């Protein structure tokens, strides 16, 4: 079968013929209905170097995946052939405390993980192919009735990652509070909706692109601001001078991190979701008193179940641009040029 593979660090993806996977004991093969195109893949192609991660190329791209159970390995129970499923992307050891809780992003025994800190599409073969081998059935989450795998695929990362970031700040997102989402792209347009669907906070959206700000208004942002030298002061004005209770930075470059620190409230949260390569100097007077600054990586399997439920109930809408499998490289090029709204999803069964 054909697969879109990353042959080496700092290289462009290429189509290649690979063997169809056959499930071993406890394993499952999924026929891919949708594979999300993620900005993280651009970092794999253009920025990462040998030794930066404990895994490396070559491997098939695609770490946001959903489809249908194609074949079951010996001993697998609870799943049926043809059943629609989403793939929980991070694959840990399965036995440490965090893995047993479903938080395999933070596996504490990486030496026993199939791709430490990664998973399918991140060190191991992902979903940019007709079929994908999933090494354990626990990595599959049945889709709620009516949820299309094409829509579900980006929720496994672009939905799950901001959901985890927002969820950990729920105690601060009470009535009368304000949340700021910086970057209304593939992650940010979902972060905005998650805040609106699960909290009573007002939401301020920030982006450099007018089309992204228009999209934010359509999705229910209470205020949409262009990024620039005056953005922090405008956020302060909109919050009666105190700043935002929670800032979710879906970009993570120097400018957005500085904006997050300047617009956050005392006792607030600044959560860095985007991996834009920026840094933030932290000292006693550099940030508001007791502003918590944290990073997050993906989310837990139980949280993915909650995200899929929100989508199935119509409370979370992924803005999707579909690409035939042959057009997957162009989807990545458009993403790099900033020409996509929401999330791009490749449908491997659809040939151009």
Q: Is residue 352 assigned to a domain?
A: no
31-40, 49-58, 138-147, 316-325 — which is least confidently predicted?
A: 49-58
Q: Is residue 115 assigned to a domain?
A: yes
Answer with the one of 257, 272, 295 that is the final residue of a domain: 295
pLDDT digits (tens, 9 = 90+) for 178-206: 999 999 999 999 999 999 999 999 999 99
Q: What is the pLDDT confidence band of residue 228, given thresholds at 50, 70 and 90?
A: very high
The H-assigned helical ranges of the chain are 39-46, 97-100, 149-152, 160-167, 188-198, 210-218, 231-238, 254-263, 301-312, 328-336
Cα four-point dihedral sign 62, 64, 69, 74: positive
| Percent with pLDDT over 90 in the chain | 91
Torsion of CA 77, 79, 82, 87, to 10 degrees: -120
Tell me what pLDDT residue 341 has.
85
| Percent with pLDDT over 70 in the chain | 99
Answer with the one of 295, 311, 328 that is the final residue of a domain: 295
Please check whether residues 71 and 171 belong to one and the same domain. no
Query: What would the mean pLDDT of 76-102 be, rounded to a whole number?
Result: 97
Please check whether residues 36 and 131 belong to one and the same domain. yes
* N residues, the chain: 352
Task: Return the closest-CA partner of residue 190 out of 155, 144, 225, 146.
Answer: 155
pLDDT digits (tens, 9 = 90+) for 285-299: 889 999 999 999 999
Query: What would the mean pLDDT of 8-36 be, rounded to a whole number?
Result: 97
Domain with residue 46: its CATH number is: 3.90.180.10
Tell me what pLDDT residue 170 has.
98
Tell me what pLDDT residue 352 has.
47
Please check whether residues 131 and 78 belong to one and the same domain. yes
Q: Is residue 200 assigned to a domain?
A: yes
Please check whether residues 282 and 308 belong to one and the same domain. no
Tell me what pLDDT residue 53 has.
86
Burial label, 305 (beta-carbon count in 10 A; 0-12, 13-18, 19+): middle
Please check whether residues 150 and 167 belong to one and the same domain. no
Please check whether residues 223 and 317 belong to one and the same domain. no
| Residue 351 in this model has a pLDDT that exceeds 60 | no
Please check whether residues 177 and 257 belong to one and the same domain. yes
Q: Is residue 326 assigned to a domain?
A: yes
Q: Is residue 97 assigned to a domain?
A: yes
Domain coverage including residue 312: 2-157+299-347
Q: Which residue has the higher pLDDT, 51 or 235?
A: 235
Please check whether residues 235 and 283 belong to one and the same domain. yes
Mean pLDDT of the chain: 95
Query: What would the mean pLDDT of 15-42 be, rounded to a whole number?
Result: 96
Please check whether residues 141 and 20 belong to one and the same domain. yes
Domain with residue 203: its CATH number is: 3.40.50.720
Answer with the one of 276, 295, 314 that is the final residue of a domain: 295
Please check whether residues 338 and 304 belong to one and the same domain. yes
H or E segment and range at residue 28: strand 28-37
Please check whether residues 289 and 303 belong to one and the same domain. no
Tell me what pLDDT residue 350 has.
65
Contacts of 204 by beta carbon, 8 Å cutoff, 6+ apart:
178, 179, 180, 181, 221, 222, 223, 224, 225, 235, 238, 244
Query: What would the mean pLDDT of 42-60 be, rounded to a whole number?
Result: 91
pLDDT digits (tens, 9 = 90+) for 110-122: 999 998 889 999 9
Report DSSP state, residue 146. Answer: T
Please check whether residues 274 and 186 belong to one and the same domain. yes
pLDDT digits (tens, 9 = 90+) for 234-285: 999 999 999 999 999 999 999 999 999 999 999 999 999 998 889 999 899 8
Contacts of 285 by beta carbon, 8 Å cutoff, 6+ apart:
none
Q: Is residue 39 assigned to a domain?
A: yes
Tell me what pLDDT residue 59 has.
97
**Structurally, how many domains does the chain consist of?**
2
Phi and psi of 215, rounded to 5°? -60, -40
Whose tokens are 């791009």? That residue is 344
Q: How far apart, in whole angstroms, are the C-alpha atoms of residue 161 and residue 154?
A: 10
Tell me what pLDDT residue 49 has.
87
Q: Is residue 277 assigned to a domain?
A: yes
Query: What would the mean pLDDT of 44-68 be, rounded to a whole number?
Result: 93
134-138, 219-223, 271-275, 341-345 — which is least confidently predicted?
A: 341-345
């Amino acid at each position: 079968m054909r697969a879109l593979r990353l042959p080496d660090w700092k290289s462009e993806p290429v189509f290649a013929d690979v063997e169809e996977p056959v499930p071993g004991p406890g394993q499952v093969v999924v026929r891919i209905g949708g594979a999300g195109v993620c900005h993280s893949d651009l970092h794999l192609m253009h920025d990462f170097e040998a030794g930066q991660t404990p895994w490396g190329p070559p491997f098939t791209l695609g770490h946001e995946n959903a489809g249908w159970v194609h074949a079951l390995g010996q001993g697998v129970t609870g799943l049926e052939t043809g059943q629609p499923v989403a793939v929980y992307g991070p694959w840990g050891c399965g036995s440490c405390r965090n893995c047993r809780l479903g938080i395999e992003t933070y596996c504490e025994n990486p030496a026993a993980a199939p791709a430490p800190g990664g998973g399918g599409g991140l060190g191991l073969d992902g979903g940019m192919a007709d079929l994908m081998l999933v090494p354990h059935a626990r990595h599959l989450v049945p889709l709620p009735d009516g949820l299309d795998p094409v829509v579900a695929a980006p929720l496994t990362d672009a939905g799950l990652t901001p959901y985890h970031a927002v969820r950990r700040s729920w105690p601060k997102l009470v009535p009368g509070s304000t949340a700021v989402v910086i970057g209304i792209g593939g992650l940010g347009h979902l972060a905005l909706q998650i805040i609106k669907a699960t909290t009573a906070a007002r939401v301020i959206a920030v982006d450099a692109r007018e089309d992204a700000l228009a999209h934010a208004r359509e999705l229910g942002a209470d205020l949409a601001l262009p990024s620039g030298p005056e953005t922090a002061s405008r956020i302060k004005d909109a919050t009666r001078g105190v700043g935002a209770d929670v800032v979710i930075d879906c970009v993570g470059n120097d400018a957005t991190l500085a904006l997050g620190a300047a617009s956050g409230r005392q006792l607030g949260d600044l959560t860095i979701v985007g991996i834009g390569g920026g840094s933030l100097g932290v000292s006693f007077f550099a940030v508001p008193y007791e502003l918590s600054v944290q990073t997050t990586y993906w989310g837990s399997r139980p949280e993915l179940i909650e995200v899929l439920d929100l989508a199935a109930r119509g409370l979370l809408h992924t803005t999707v641009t579909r690409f035939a499998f042959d057009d997957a490289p162009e989807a990545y090029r458009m993403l790099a040029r900033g020409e996509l709204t929401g999330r791009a999803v490749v449908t491997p069964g659809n040939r151009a």
